Structure 1
Amino acid sequence: MTYLDTVPASSEATRTALMLHAERLFAELGPHGVSLRGVSAAAGQRNHSAAQYHFGDRAGVIGGVFSHRMVEVDRHRRELLDAAPAVTDDVKGPIEVLVRPLADMVVASDGWYARFLARARWDPVSLNVLGAQPEAYSYHAARARLADALEALPPKIRASRLDQIDDVAVCTLAAWEWSRDRGEERLDADVMIDEIITTSVAIACVPPPRAVTDRQVSPAT
């Protein structure tokens, strides 16, 4: 039995059921690999227009999945942001804010959300939808603090480091979900989360390539 088998069948739970099945289908097939009718059918809805009724279109479903999962993550991130200094040159603090609330939710949920995110990160439409959701506020705030802590880096290198840290977190969590569902040997959750944070700090702090720093100080050509 999987977490999808425990989704309540009552009418008030229809929206939640649709989101959970959409999360799985989008994770498996990509945001454009499944229709709204397919989501409705997977959720056991006799009315195959149920997903369209509840969410309007594919972007609405993507936003719904994100909001459903990220409410608690956003709350946790806001708490960490409020407890931390607004200005700091310590990169680990903002990285903890970015990584730990998301990782804790993924580990506790027994779902497909990290794999859903991994797919969405490479789809511009999905990424725009996710970034516009209210629950993304704390993510943007933590990322801005990390960018401030990395202000000594050349701008393009800084932007690349921020994206790499996102990739490490999302892809590592997605791989961990796959291993969990397949019953494969994997790191304990706490160790896995610490590994993501440690690796992310290393990415943030490693000096930029010499060729880049040389170009930063070379006369314009």
Structure 2
Amino acid sequence: MARTSGPETRDKLIRAAEELFAAQGVHGAQLRDVVTRAGQANPSAVQYHFGSRDGLLDAVMAGRQARTESVLAPLLAAAPDELRALVAALVTAEASELRTDRGRRCLRISAQLSHESGVRTRTPHPTLAGTGYWRLIERIADRLAAGGLPEPLLLERLDLALTMVGAAMADRARQYLDGAEPLTGEALFLTDLVETTTALLRAAQPEQATHQQGKDPS
């Protein structure tokens, strides 16, 4: 067994966590199994290198975010301030993770964390603070605000749209990992996801929204 020190061991733990978090769930996977999968003898290896399960999860997501950012940067620079173009940049960047098994596992993990991004409070999760991904979210939010969507509804709708994109990507990733045959080719899948997400965001504001903002439906 390898000793628990150095960047090589950290990487082994991260890769083991990606496999188990994707297959068994972020909260279902046992840290002792992560340690064993990484080939480590010290049962406290995760605590030693990352402090906690959350620290390990943040490291997994930081790596996934770094890969996506490299794809997103030129797309974000070229995208006009038009809703469909911004959604297309988001979907294209996320789809880059479908190219590898590692990325596919991380898409499955991300979908479990979709409501932890901070969108609903406009306060990014630490792994998203200062990223191109968060700037893209803000640009999409600005487009929705310019269309007259009130803030509470805007944030709920944006969070729902991001959750939908994440779930769709995770399901596609699962099919690839399982060797299943998708119903549609990838190009059609991605184009339809852009159109569907854009349509969701552009949906007409309910008439009662102006009268019931923030009110309990009861």
TM range (shorter): 0.7 to 0.9
8 Å contact from structure 1 (residues 179, 185) kept in 2: yes
1:45 is aligned to 2:40: yes
Q: 1:110 aligns with which of 64, 76, 101?
A: 101
Q: What RMSD over aligned residues (CA atoms) do the two structures have, in Å?
A: 2.6
| Residues 190, 65 of structure 1: alpha-carbon distance in 2 compared, 3 angstrom cutoff | same
Whole-angstrom CA distance in 1 between matches of 2:19 and 2:128:
23
Gaps of 5+ in 2: 1-5, 119-123, 214-218
Q: What amino acid sits opposite 1:30 in the alignment? A: G
Q: CA deviation at 1:215?
A: 4.8
Tell me which residue corresponds to 1:73: 68
1:156 is aligned to 2:131: no
Gaps of 5+ in 1: 1-10, 217-221
Whole-angstrom CA distance in 1 between matches of 2:70 and 2:15:
21
Q: 2:191 aligns with which of 187, 191, 194?
A: 194
Matched residue of 1:32: which SS? coil
Tell me which residue corresponds to 1:180: 176
Q: CA deviation at 1:144?
A: 0.5
Q: 2:59 aligns with which of 44, 64, 67?
A: 64
Q: CA deviation at 1:80?
A: 2.0
TM-score by length of 1: 0.79
1:119 is aligned to 2:112: yes
8 Å contact from structure 2 (residues 35, 46) kept in 1: yes
Matched residue of 1:132: which SS? coil
8 Å contact from structure 1 (residues 26, 119) kept in 2: no
Whole-angstrom CA distance in 2 between matches of 1:124 and 1:163:
9
Deviates more, 1:57-66 or 1:180-189: 180-189
CA-to-partner distance for each residue in 1:70-102, whole Å, 9 max, x for gaps? 2121122222222234xx3x2112212322111
Whole-angstrom CA distance in 2 between matches of 1:121 and 1:155:
20
Whole-angstrom CA distance in 2 between matches of 1:150 and 1:204:
7
Counting matched residue pairs gives: 199
Q: 2:166 aligns with which of 152, 164, 170?
A: 170
Indicate the percent of aligned positions where both proteins have the same amino acid. Answer: 29
Q: CA deviation at 1:122?
A: 5.0
Matched residue of 1:131: which SS? coil
8 Å contact from structure 2 (residues 94, 169) kept in 1: no
| Residues 136, 40 of structure 1: alpha-carbon distance in 2 compared, 3 angstrom cutoff | farther
Whole-angstrom CA distance in 1 between matches of 2:149 and 2:128:
30
Matched residue of 1:115: which SS? helix
Q: CA deviation at 1:176?
A: 0.8
8 Å contact from structure 1 (residues 91, 146) kept in 2: yes
1:96 is aligned to 2:88: yes
8 Å contact from structure 2 (residues 114, 162) kept in 1: no
Whole-angstrom CA distance in 1 between matches of 2:185 and 2:37:
31
